[in-house]
Amino acid sequence: QVSPEQVILSHSPLRLFRQFHQKCMLVAGQGPVEENAHNLGFKHVVTIEALRKAYPLLDMVDQSRRPKELPPPTTGFPTIEGVILFGEPVRWETSLQLIIDVLLSNGNPGAELQDIPYPHLPVLACNMDLLWMAEAKMPRFGHGTYLLCLENIYKKVTGRELKYEALIGKPSTVTYRYAEYLIKQQAEKQGWKSPIRRLYAVGDNPMSDIYGANLYNNYLKSAHQNQVQAGVKRSPQAASLQSEDHLELRKDCSNSVESCESILVCTGVYRHNADVPSKTEEYATEAVFHGHRDFCFDPSLVEASYIVQDVNDAVQLAFTKENW
């Protein structure tokens, strides 16, 4: 039986972004986004729907939702200090419009636009998958597709790049680091004395699951090399993680973990009709890069350490490798 603390959702590492927990944050997505934000430690949150009701003149794409009469001026609504993107919303046009409004107005969408602020308010985005596999024969749009729309609208309107305070969820190194942090906590609860040396990451999407695991493996190698050779310049992946203010994460994660093995299963986004191939070079070189804008494409990062048919085979492989 899996306990709640063993489950990592794409937004789980937001618990560590305490510098935003007291700020008024606009939260976007679907489901209980307000409740999720509170559970992660955020004290003051505003939903897209609350913002739309406070400023009814903002949401004008759907003619049936336009106010029939000119509403009174909005008073007393808090200034928004940052944006959290939990996942793809239902009404894309509403969320896209209102988030752009918040960024262009520096958190006061009812104010008359003077100069476009830049850098804009902090944006934290969870889950970058462009596509995901459901019951349909072809993959469906994911939150990465929504982010693509938001980024391009912002750039088209302002001429500048939308910047993220953090990108969280696979393939972000922060997410794998957080996973290591939780795994070590679980090991301590079980009373395991031996340090954990290897992690195994199983997934069906080469562009997120495998890419992220391999990126983290590179980070682990870089961190280990830095310990052996003090003063050697860090890789970009390691530097970006070290520069973030995640003191608790760094404190509780010693560098005992040496590698992160990536295992690709063939039951989701990645399919192979013939015999299970031994490598993914052909997939890596022929596939269009579906990763996020801020992640550079490297064919080696989507090449899995192992390819198996399903999750059960992946678990058995890990047991075999560890002599269990």
pLDDT, residue 5, reads 66
Residue 156 in tokens:
């088209």
Tell me the pLDDT tens digit for each residue of 250-276.
545 555 899 999 999 998 878 765 444
306 and 217 Cβ atoms separated by less than 8 Å: no
Which residues of the chain does CATH 3.40.50.1000 include? Answer: 4-66+78-167
Residue 237 in tokens:
């992946």
∠ CA 159-165-166, rounded to 5°: 120
pLDDT, residue 177, reads 92
Tell me the pLDDT tens digit for each residue of 60-83.
999 999 998 999 988 999 999 999
Architecture, CATH, for domain 4-66+78-167:
3-Layer(aba) Sandwich (3.40)
201 and 172 Cβ atoms separated by less than 8 Å: no
pLDDT, residue 270, reads 80
Q: What is the pTM of this model?
A: 0.80
Residue 65, helix vs strand vs coil: helix
Tell me the pLDDT tens digit for each residue of 157-196.
999 999 999 999 989 999 999 999 999 989 999 999 889 9
Mean per-residue pLDDT of the chain: 87
Contacts (Cβ under 8 Å, ≥6 apart) of 222: 234, 235, 237, 238
pLDDT, residue 291, reads 84
pLDDT, residue 12, reads 94
Nearest to 25 by CA among 166, 179, 236: 166
Backbone dihedral angles phi then psi of residue 220, each to the nearest 5 degrees: -60, -40
pLDDT, residue 100, reads 98
Query: In angstroms, rounded to a whole number, what is the distance separating the alpha carbons of residues 89 and 77?
Result: 23
Residues of the chain below pLDDT 70: 1-5, 227-255, 272-287
